[in-house]
Amino acid sequence: MKRRTLLIQLLGLGAAGVAGPALAGSRSAAVGPSGAPFPPLLGPIPLPDDGLSAAEQQRHYRRIRLVDRLQVPEGYRADVLLSWGDRLGEGAMGFNNDYLAFTPLGSDRALLTINFEYISAIPWCAGYAEARGRELPFAPLIAAMEQAGGSVDAASLEASSPLRQQIATVAAAALEDLGIGVAELVRTADGGWRHQPGKRDRRVHGLSGVDDPAQRLRVSGPAAAVFRRQQRLGFNDGLADQVIGTFANCAGGTTPWGTVLSAEENVQTQVVEAVYADGSSPAPAACPFRFDGRRLAGLGNPFQLAGNKYGWMVEINPQRPELPPVKHSWLGRFRHEAVAVRALAGQPLQVYSGCDRHGGHLYRFVSAEPVADPRDPANSRLLEAGRLEVAQFNADGTGRWLPLDPATAIAPQRTNGSVSVPHSDRGQPGAERLSSDAELERYCRRFRTLADLYPGGGEEQMGAILIDAHLAANAIGATPTARPEDTELDPRNGDLLISFTMGGSDEGGSADPAIFRGPEGQTPWPFGWVMRLSDGDKTFRWQMAATGGTPWEGGLGFANPDNLAIDSRGDIWMVTDRSMGDSATDVFGNNACWLLSGGEAHLFATGPMECELCGPCFDSDETTLFLAVQHPGERNGAHRAGEEEIQAFQLKDRSGAPLEQLRQVPLGSNWPSGVPGRNPRPAIAMVRRIRPAPPAAPGRRDRSGAGAWWSAPGAGAGPDG
């Protein structure tokens, strides 16, 4: 697909130069039939359900403008519930809210658990003083870091050094804006929700426990034995099996017994990811502090955080603020994104999770003991013993689970020509790359099983394997996948649904092209898939349930699926994570929320400029859909009048005829305030129906009365800005 970006000034065009429809709402329900229970939005490209003829698509899509709003269909409204900086427990709402979990406390009260993932430096720096009520030394720190060459090992500086103090101040503020939050909610008179501060409000952040040992997190499973070792190859933080804080909290899941699992994903930007053969971490100096005003990294360096204690799945009980969160090491350490929990009476507990990296894997934990009562809070102990397995996919739609066990044979697969495995010099941390059959054969002759790569025995050996789960999985032949971003269980049949966001590659790996292919066999395919996996004891079957991409290339019209939610009817709600800097996917416009139903994709919501929509979840009676709006204005900060660009695309209408489009795109965002020039903030939005659904079109299902989500709960105040 062809794409060129031209500044308005270079074209000599003003706003009037691209006159055309603004994407500011949905089409009328009378435009045409749709299988959706709402009038779908008109997106930036022609879609099968947009109700327009080919001639109408030519007229409508030739000139369009994107808008800086959270747009929802006609008859719905979106309101802001909480935004960055709002008071929450003993702290505040953090930055870049992601996964959301709704826990009912009766009919009119509830808890909302919130993940805070990472720092987008441009809007965070610009808006920090307004959001958090204090100034930080951003300008002098940027200048000092530039003089220091861009990166600094803070621990090597004198304690009295002004630079060290500035680094500690900014890094602490950033880590305190990450982690997990719990907010108490009450139902309003019109049936919506609002935050009502209460005793269960809570913040667990990246430095929890740094000053108060009682606030430190606990570790379960074999990795705790590694952390307690006195003799080690690498760094000792002196905390044994206690952990300071949690950060990079991305996706998550809710257990049947009411706790929430929070996934630590891209920790490698803040602490050392590589480990030694005994599971210990290199010194924090290997991941120095970096800050230039556009990127903030190495946040763990000033506080000497051990990298092997991050990248885990964290369990938190939102109803018990006195209990410390637990990092369950049997679930493995990798770039966790997604978690789904299968708890059936009389069967072992199963937990599915993905590693969100190019060439990352799909994992399954199986508990050692069976579940008695799926709703018993004591089930948390089942996460403390079992086995971790990793998926090996076959191109014929079958697959099997490989145990991450010391006795498992070494059998790496060279996908796309090479594979990263644990370094053959076991005194070196991290990986080496095998790029030929001869190198692979030599490696397999030297290391027969995982026990040869991770010496020792007992819990310490098992803990080292779990700490190095990604490379250990590579070593035994797990299939490299296309960045698994979410896992959800279909309540109708128990199938596992997996969103794979894109089939790309980087220096660390790439997806298996035999599995992850476009509609016509294209590889790489950058637009993503939703897979359906029917699991068994040791094997499974899989098929692609939905494929991203433009309709004229065989896709369903979306790009880069991320978080999933399944409603009471079994329909899939999906949000997208299109990179704002990827020209291949720019044609899809702003990130969005879609309904996948009956083999079709229906556009329900589009986000503000430069944002990602995350964490879709419903309240108990499905009258409210919560969406986390993450990083609006990430690339350009606050939008100011006239700061726009023109994008040009080659599209096709429903007849297959070429359609040339000019698109006016604001740079930056002012969401949620909508005030020109005001800094954007990540926030949580509530979407509700305010008018009854229109009658179903002839030949379509009438689902308007299928649940409270499809009927009007009553009118409210105006929509968000």
Rg (CA), the chain: 25
289-291: strand order across its sheet: 151-152, 289-291, 296-297
Pairing of strands 179-187, 484-489: unpaired
The confidence score (pLDDT) of residue 718 equals 36
How confident is the model at residue 550, as a pLDDT? Answer: 97
Residue 686, burial from CB neighbour count under 10 angstroms (0-12, 13-18, 19+)? buried
Percent above pLDDT 90 for the chain: 87
Is residue 181 predicted with pLDDT exceeding 80?
Answer: yes
Res 698 pLDDT > 60? no
Q: Which pLDDT score, from 0 to 100, does residue 508 have?
A: 83
Which letter, b or e, does each residue of 363-379 get, where b requires 16 or more Cβ atoms within 10 Å of its Cβ?
A: bbbbbeeebeebeeeeb
Q: Is 154 in a helix, a strand, or coil?
A: helix
Instruction: Enumerate helices (H) and strands (E) in the chain, giving the number of each.
Output: 10, 40
Beta strands in 197-309 (DSSP E): 202-204, 218-220, 249-254, 260-264, 289-291, 296-297
Cβ-based neighbours of 216, under 8 Å, separated by 6 or more: 208, 209, 239, 242, 243, 244, 324
pLDDT, position 26: 45
pLDDT band at 702 (very low <50, low <70, confident <90, very high): very low
How long a stretch of residues is the chain? Answer: 721
- The mean per-residue pLDDT over the stretch 40-48 comes to 96
Instruction: Note the pLDDT of residue 717.
Output: 33
Average pLDDT of span 542-549 = 97
Confidence of residue 581 (pLDDT cuts 50, 70, 90): low
- pLDDT band, very low/low/confident/very high, at 506 (cuts 50, 70, 90): confident
- Say if CB 546 and CB 530 are below 8 A apart: yes
Name the pLDDT band for 582 (thresholds 50, 70, 90).
low
pLDDT reported for residue 22:
63
Q: How confident is the model at residue 135 (pLDDT cuts 50, 70, 90)?
A: very high
Residue 652: CB atoms within 10 Å: 17
- Band of pLDDT at residue 36, cut at 50, 70 and 90: confident
Q: What is the mean pLDDT of the chain?
A: 92
pLDDT band at 215 (very low <50, low <70, confident <90, very high): very high
User: What whole-number distance in Å separates Cα of residue 406 and Cα of residue 222?
Assistant: 13
- Flag the least confident range among 396-405, 428-437, 499-508: 499-508
- Residue 23: the pLDDT is 55
Percent with pLDDT over 70 in the chain: 91
Closest-CA residue to 179 (of 285, 91, 303, 241): 91
Q: Region 472-484: what's the mean pLDDT?
A: 98
Answer yes or no: is pLDDT of 4 > 50.
no
pLDDT per residue over 249-296, tens digit each? 999 999 999 999 999 999 999 999 999 999 999 999 999 999 999 999
661 pairs with which residues across the strands? 649
For residue range 406-455, list pLDDT tens digits in order.
999 999 999 888 999 999 999 999 999 999 999 999 999 999 999 999 99
Least confident of 242-256, 368-382, 494-508, 527-541: 494-508
484-489, strands of its sheet edge to edge: 336-342, 348-355, 362-370, 386-393, 398-403, 539-547, 529-535, 496-500, 484-489
pLDDT value for 416: 83
Q: Please, which contacts does 461-465 make with residues 24 or more away whose CB atoms are closer than 8 Å?
A: 461/406, 462/222, 462/406, 463/221, 463/222, 463/223, 463/224, 463/225, 463/226, 463/279, 463/329, 464/226, 464/275, 464/277, 464/278, 464/279, 465/279, 465/404, 465/405, 465/406
Report, as an integer, the average pLDDT of 634-646. Answer: 96
pLDDT single digits (tens) 589-619: 999 999 999 899 999 999 999 999 999 999 9
Q: Give the lowest-confidence range in 35-39, 140-144, 365-369, 586-590.
A: 35-39
Q: Which of 515, 614, 599 is nearest to 557 (CA)?
A: 599
Q: Which of 243, 62, 94 is nearest to 180 (CA)?
A: 94
CA–CA distance, 115 with 130 (Å, rounded to integer): 22
pLDDT for the residue numbered 692: 64
Residue 719: count of CB within 10 angstroms of its CB: 17
55 three-state secondary structure: helix
Task: With a cut of 70, say whether residue 240 has pLDDT above it.
Answer: yes
Task: Tell me which amino acid residue 627 is.
Answer: L
pLDDT at residue 35, as a whole number: 73
Among the listed ranges 116-120, 504-508, 638-642, which one has the minimum average pLDDT value? 504-508
Cα of first residue to Cα of last residue in the chain, in angstroms, is 34
State both tokens at 615.
């964490």
Q: Which two tokens stand for residue 52?
A: 């327009």
| CB-facing half-sphere around the CA of 663: CA atoms within 13 A | 26
User: Is pLDDT of 695 > 60?
Assistant: no
Cβ atoms of residues 120 and 96 within 8 Å: yes
User: pLDDT confidence of 102, banded at 50, 70, 90?
Assistant: very high
DSSP-derived 3-state class of residue 133: coil
pTM > 0.85: yes or no: yes
Section 319-335 average pLDDT: 98
